[in-house]
Structure 1
Amino acid sequence: MAPTVVRDGPFRLFFFSREEPRMHVHVAHPDGEAKFWLEPCVTLAGHAGLSQNELAAAEEVVLRHFQEIIDAWNKHFGR
């Protein structure tokens, strides 16, 4: 299961239900995907297919929706 948290322009932010306990979010884009750790701070964990400009835009989307992502994580995982 991969619930969508946010759609923002060409980006879809989501997380997998049974991946790992450390808080993170996946960012899908038509050209590729990235994963960002959310704690202790927003940090790129890895990516495939995205340009540096797309990665920067993806990080901006994560930062813009940070609290919404945290709230969705806590609701989904029962924190």
Structure 2
Amino acid sequence: MPVVFRYRGFRFLFYSNEGDPREPVHIHVVKDGTDAKFWLWPEVIVAYNDGFDAKTLRELLVIIESRRTEIDRAWNAFFGTTD
């Protein structure tokens, strides 16, 4: 599972097996056994949440929005896509 970046103890990552057919570009955020998944396009939204409170989800949304291009590039470089 490639980690794209870390921020204040959060790991922002995706899994190398993202389904068949592969799901659209997204990022998982993990910290202390808690995780959430965010779709990147057309806007950053929570796909699922397993334990983060609302304040943390809002913070994560801001971080992901500000680094969405970086996440998208890492996804495409890993999976060899341009979508």
TM over 0.5: yes
Residue in 2 that maps onto 1:72: 74
- Structure 2 residue runs of 5 or longer lacking an equivalent are none
Query: What do the CA deviations read for 1:22-72 (whole angstroms, capped 9, x no partner)?
Result: 111001123611100112221110011110011111111111211110110
Compute the RMSD of aligned alpha carbons. Answer: 1.3
Amino acid at match of 1:48: D
Instruction: Give the total of aligned pairs.
Output: 78
Q: CA separation of 1:17/1:6 partners in 2, compared to 1, >3 Å: closer, same or farther?
A: same
Q: CA separation of 1:31/1:16 partners in 2, compared to 1, >3 Å: closer, same or farther?
A: closer
- Structure having greater relative contact order (Cα 8 Å, sep ≥ 6): 1
1:42 to 41, 44, 47: 44
TM-score of the pair, normalised by structure 2: 0.85
TM-score of the pair, normalised by structure 1: 0.89
User: How far apart, CA to CA, are the structure 1 residues paired with 2:56 and 2:34?
Assistant: 9
Residue in 2 that maps onto 1:57: 59
- Which structure 1 residue ranges, 4+ long, deviate > 6 Å from structure 2? none
- Structure 1 residue runs of 5 or longer lacking an equivalent are none
Q: CA separation of 1:6/1:62 partners in 2, compared to 1, >3 Å: closer, same or farther?
A: same
